[in-house]
Amino acid sequence: MKEYFTGFLLLEREGMNGKETSYRGIYRKEPEYPEQKTEEMDIWKRSAYARWDIKKYSAFIRDIDDATRLFTEYVGLGKQVDLLKVILADEEINIEKEKNQFIGYDVATFGCYSAIADRPVAWDANKINRVSDDKELIAWPLWKLEGRYFSPRLNESGLFQNWVDAELFMNVEQSLSRIFPEFYEKEFIDMNVFALFLIFSA
């Protein structure tokens, strides 16, 4: 049986901009390093030590027991956090074998930068009337087309329900990033499809 990378993430319920969001993927805030020495600082340090020591995977917690213990400790401090199981999905995952709730496929880097999280902004059909740069004028119709195709395929968690859609979106984004490199972060070249499962939420 093929082995897939598996890791765990503790993420706050709000998005990277600090606001509530329907997107429940991996591009969200982690519990931040506290400014003062408190119990939360001790938990944060344990979280850092619990991560993979391989640089590529260092955003992820290695062990489910460590991840569960850290989740419980953060909840005890009143934090609203999700504990996710993340599986690299080079091919479609048999989600029926997983005991945890499947919430969707994200397209992201191992550093947890998601191509899905900010796509609704690029898919804003009204914005095309506000751009003046020649490159943007060329790119916006393609983003609008991308949005019309992929937006209806996102589920209530802002993720793809089907692996085929996620893989196609990844390929389209990688192609667009090569055509219009000035509009994309270089990390888009190293995108992967990840299957996400919600273990606990508080």
Q: What is the pLDDT of residues 11-57, one digit of tens each?
A: 998 766 666 678 999 999 998 877 777 888 899 899 999 999 888 89
Give the C-alpha separation, 105 to 87, whole Å. Answer: 9
Angle between helices 64-76 and 39-49 (to 10 degrees): 160
Rg of the chain, C-alpha, whole Å: 18
What are the backbone dihedrals phi and psi of residue 93, each rounded to the nearest 5 degrees, phi first?
A: -90, 140
Question: Distances from the Cα of 2 to the Cαs of 5, 34, 40, 105, 156, in angstroms?
Answer: 10, 40, 38, 19, 30
Question: Distances from the Cα of 9 to the Cαs of 2, 109, 111, 140, in angstroms?
Answer: 22, 14, 11, 34
Residue whose structure tokens are 């982690």: 30
Share of the chain above pLDDT 70, in %: 88
Examine the pLDDT at 126 and tell me if it is beyond 60. no
Note the pTM of the prediction, 2 decimals. 0.89
Examine the pLDDT at 163 and tell me if it is beyond 80. yes
Q: Which one is predicted more confidently, 18 or 167?
A: 167
Give the C-alpha separation, 112 to 88, whole Å. Answer: 12
Examine the pLDDT at 165 and tell me if it is beyond 60. yes
The separation between CA 19 and the C-alpha centre of its own chain, rounded to angstroms, equals 16
Q: Which residues face 201 on adjacent strands? A: 82
β-strand 81-88 against 101-108: which pairing, if any? Answer: unpaired
Q: What pLDDT, on the 0 to 100 scale, is given for residue 109?
A: 93
Where does the chain show beta strands of DSSP type E?
6-12, 81-88, 101-108, 192-201
Query: Coil, helix or strand for 98?
Result: coil
pLDDT, average across residues 186-199: 89
Q: What pLDDT, on the 0 to 100 scale, is given for residue 137?
A: 74
Domain-wise residue ranges, the chain: 6-201
